[in-house]
């Protein structure tokens, strides 16, 4: 087996389950820049381990601390334990859906203004309106484009004031 170095690290992610390929341009670089923003804690909840790995790589590359949940129940428990600055929830998860997690979080005043983004592979007409109408701060349709995701996360954190203690 040939050892992998930082310069030889893969810059492409493939997920055979969903048939997607995402180029991760510039992912293997210094983690020092954060677009002039302090690092934040971000919870990602997705039942697909490779999807979580990709999200973690993108967000950690931007300097954020990532908390991972594999289902909706775990997402709620980790939100209560870690009080992240933002959450990214897959819509279709076991135990509790992204909508159910969102409803529980929005019913708690401490999460009323927390940015919570829906992540979904579904792009049917009306999905965005239904998701935003439910109370999600934003909606992102897979496949993931790393630079676009980083920009959306940065914008949502700026809009929320980002005044939580990390």
Q: How many CB atoms lie within 10 A of CB 159?
A: 12
The reply to whether 118 falls in a domain is: yes
pLDDT at residue number 125: 83
Q: How far is it, in rounded angstroms, from Cα 142 to Cα 157? A: 20
pLDDT at residue number 122: 81
- CA pseudo-torsion sign 94, 98, 104, 108: positive
CA 24 to chain centroid: 16
> 147-158: per-residue pLDDT in tens?
999 999 999 999
CA 51 to each of CA 44, 104, 108: distance values in angstroms, whole numbers, following the listed order:
10, 24, 28
Domain interval for residue 83: 10-27+38-158
The reply to whether 103 falls in a domain is: yes
pLDDT at residue number 139: 92
> Is the pLDDT reported for residue 95 higher than 50?
yes
The reply to whether 93 falls in a domain is: yes
> 33-89: per-residue pLDDT in tens?
344 457 899 999 999 999 999 999 999 999 999 999 999 999 999 999 999 999 999
- Could you tell me the pTM of the whole model? 0.76
> Is the pLDDT reported for residue 135 higher than 80?
yes
pLDDT at residue number 160: 82
Per-residue confidence at 132, pLDDT binned at 50, 70, 90? very high
The count of structural domains within the chain is 1
Mean pLDDT estimate for the chain = 80
The reply to whether 33 falls in a domain is: no
pLDDT at residue number 38: 76
The reply to whether 15 falls in a domain is: yes
Question: Which of 68-72, 137-141, 162-166 shows the lowest mean pLDDT across its residues?
Answer: 162-166
> What is the CATH number for 23?
3.40.50.2300
Question: Quick one: which of 111, 38, 119 has its CA closest to 79?
Answer: 111
Q: What percent of the chain lies above the pLDDT cut of 70? A: 75
Give the torsion through C-alpha atoms of 126, 84, 101, 120, to 10 deg: 30
């Amino acid at each position: 087996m040939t050892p992998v170095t930082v310069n030889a690290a893969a810059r492409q992610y493939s997920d055979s389950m969903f048939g997607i390929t995402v180029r991760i341009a510039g992912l293997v670089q210094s983690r020092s820049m954060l677009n002039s923003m302090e690092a934040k804690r971000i919870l990602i909840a997705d039942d697909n381990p490779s999807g979580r790995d990709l999200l973690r790589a993108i967000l950690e590359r931007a300097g954020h601390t990532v908390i991972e949940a594999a289902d909706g129940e775990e997402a709620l428990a980790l939100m209560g334990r870690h009080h992240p600055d933002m959450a990214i929830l897959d819509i279709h998860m076991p135990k509790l859906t992204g909508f159910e997690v969102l409803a529980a979080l929005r019913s708690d005043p401490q999460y009323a203004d927390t940015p919570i983004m829906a992540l979904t592979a579904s792009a049917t007409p009306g999905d965005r309106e239904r998701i935003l109408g439910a109370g999600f701060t934003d909606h992102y349709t897979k496949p993931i484009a790393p630079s676009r995701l980083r920009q959306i996360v940065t914008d949502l954190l700026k809009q929320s004031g980002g005044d939580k203690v990390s």
